[in-house]
């Protein structure tokens, strides 16, 4: 009986071994398929990320360009306003000077010509300031800070 038992036991492991080999082969094929599918998905995802990165880089460049343009326009505005403010101070000083000179009852013809020349210079400065303001308003910007700056220096656009 020992032989029969041994024969039965020795016959059983062989089919298990063959079924185990089949199972291992199926698992290996499944693993390889999962790895291939994973590699395809990762490759496609990487390509999408590269495209998105390029798109974001283009947007960043466009926004930087717009920001630079806006800054240069604002700088032009500030320079123009500074010039206008300086001109207004000069005009005010000249007006005060003319007021003091005109209070003198004895004004000679030379002084009269000098006063008229000063008045003409003031008019020219006012015209230049109007042209500067017109060029600024041609930029067609509606920024609250710029509007406040215009109202601060007392100029109407």
Looking at the whole model, is its pTM more than 0.95?
Answer: no
76-110 as b/e: b if 16+ CB within 10 A: ebeebbeebbebbeebeeeeeebeeeeeeeeeeee
- pLDDT single digits (tens) 11-29: 444 556 778 888 898 999 9
Closest listed residue to residue 136, CA positions, set 145, 146, 127: 146
Statement: residue 137 has pLDDT above 80 = no
Q: How many CA atoms lie within 13 A of 73 on its CB side?
A: 16
- pLDDT single digits (tens) 70-88: 888 888 888 888 888 888 8
Contact yes or no for 152/132 (Cβ under 8 A): no
Q: What is the mean pLDDT of residues 55-73?
A: 88
């Amino acid at each position: 009986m020992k032989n029969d038992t041994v024969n039965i036991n020795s016959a059983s492991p062989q089919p298990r071994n063959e079924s185990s080999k089949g199972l291992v082969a199926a698992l290996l094929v499944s693993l390889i398929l999962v790895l291939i599918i994973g590699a395809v998905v990762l490759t496609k995802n990487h390509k999408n990320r590269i495209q998105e990165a390029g798109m974001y880089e283009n947007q960043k460049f466009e926004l930087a360009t717009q920001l630079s343009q806006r800054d240069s326009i604002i700088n032009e505005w500030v320079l123009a306003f500074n010039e206008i403010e300086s001109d207004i101070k000069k005009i005010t000083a000249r007006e005060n000077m003319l007021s003091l000179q005109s209070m003198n009852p004895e004004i000679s013809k030379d002084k009269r010509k000098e006063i008229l020349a000063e008045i003409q210079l003031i008019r020219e400065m006012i015209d230049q300031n109007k042209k500067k303001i017109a060029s600024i308003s041609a930029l067609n910007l509606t920024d609250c800070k710029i509007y406040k700056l215009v109202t601060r220096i007392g100029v109407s656009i």
